[in-house]
Every structure is written in structure tokens, then in C-alpha cells.
Amino acid sequence: MRLSQISANQVLPQTSNGRVSLGASLFATENSSSWLSQNGEFAFGFRKLRNQDDLFFLLCIWYVNGDKPAEARSNVVLTPEIGLALTTPLGEELWKSESVDESVANGVMSDEGNFVLEGSNSNKLWESFKNPTDTILPSQVLDMGQVLSSHQSQTNYSKGRFQFRLREDGNVVLNTVNLPSNYANEPYYATNISGESSTQ
């Protein structure tokens, strides 16, 4: 997730106390609106990629789809069946939140920077904290098996060659990846919780 300064006049009136109504949507434009947390410190929306001839955007807090940036006028919408769905102006699907077991009642942009899809009983159906990309926030917990990836450059947010992983054996490891595959090489650093050498 990437963070950025957002002014209050960029917020659509479809949010209240961090809650996002079903049917609410955002468009990828130069001055696109965002969905803010109640305290105004975090936002969910589109961010224009810098130093690009064409207009391409990331859907982020600030980050979700670095490998497939959204072109101008792409649209993200909150629906009860899917949750969040990001499509191009021609309707091609770029990204969607994971399948949910029940209908989504609303979205919430929390004060901690976590975007949550809630069911009718305010139960969490999906959350951005469980889908980390290249950044972890102070109140975010990295679960066993989760991975943070570097991005390729300051202007290219596709997954880069380096990973920070919390393995199932409890070790935190740093490793490289054989791009364009997702094959993770042997770690060049590990915390040695399970008695392995700290450098491999």
C-alpha cells in the first residue's frame, strides 16, 4: 500500500464516517476523487503514475494492481456480489477483490488504512490488510505465508525481484525472485527461528 496526501475536496459524498455505500464508484482521472477514512489520514482510490506518456493509474491505498495499471477513465465499483471490481473503459476486468461467501453490505476505509468489505452483520468479508503488496502499515499484521514484494522502479509498480516473506516455519526471510516467473530463490537472509543458518 502506498500513502499520499489527499485533500478533503477530492472526496465524493458517497462516504460517511469512512463507510462506502453499495453502488459507489470512482473513475481514474487527473483529479479523481477518493474514499477517505474517518480521520482523513488514509484514502482508497486512483493515483496517476508519474513520468508516463499515457495516462495510467494505480488503484491503491496507496496500492493494489501494480502489474496491471488502470488506464484513464477506468472504473472501480462496490457491488454486493463481487465487492470491489476494477474495469477498463471498455469493460475489461483488471482486478477484483477475492470471492466473498455472502453479500457485501458496505465498504469501510478504516483509520488504520485498512479497506474492509463488510457483511450485513458488520463482519469482515475481505480486507486490504490481508492482501499486502509492497508496504506494511504500523497497525498491520503480516500473517504466516504472506509476502511483501519490491516494485521494479519508482515509476513501475510491477512486482520486482525482491521479497520479504513470513514463512510457515516462523522464519522471516529475504529472497530474490526469478522474473517473469514467481519462483522464489533460496533466501539470502533468514531469522533462524527454526535453527537454520541466518544466511543461505
pTM recorded for the entire structure: 0.68
Predicted confidence (pLDDT) per residue in 48-82, tens digit: 877 656 678 888 875 355 567 778 888 989 999 98
Domains, the chain, ranges and CATH? 8-130 (2.90.10.10), 147-190 (no CATH)
Residue written as grid cell 488504520: 112
Question: Per-block average pLDDT, block size 10, for the chain (200 residues)?
Answer: 34 63 88 83 82 74 62 89 91 84 89 91 92 86 91 81 91 91 90 58
Closest C-alpha to 151, from 139, 140, 164 = 164
pLDDT value, residue 172: 93
- Amino acid symbol at 39: N
Closest C-alpha to 41, from 87, 1, 94 = 1
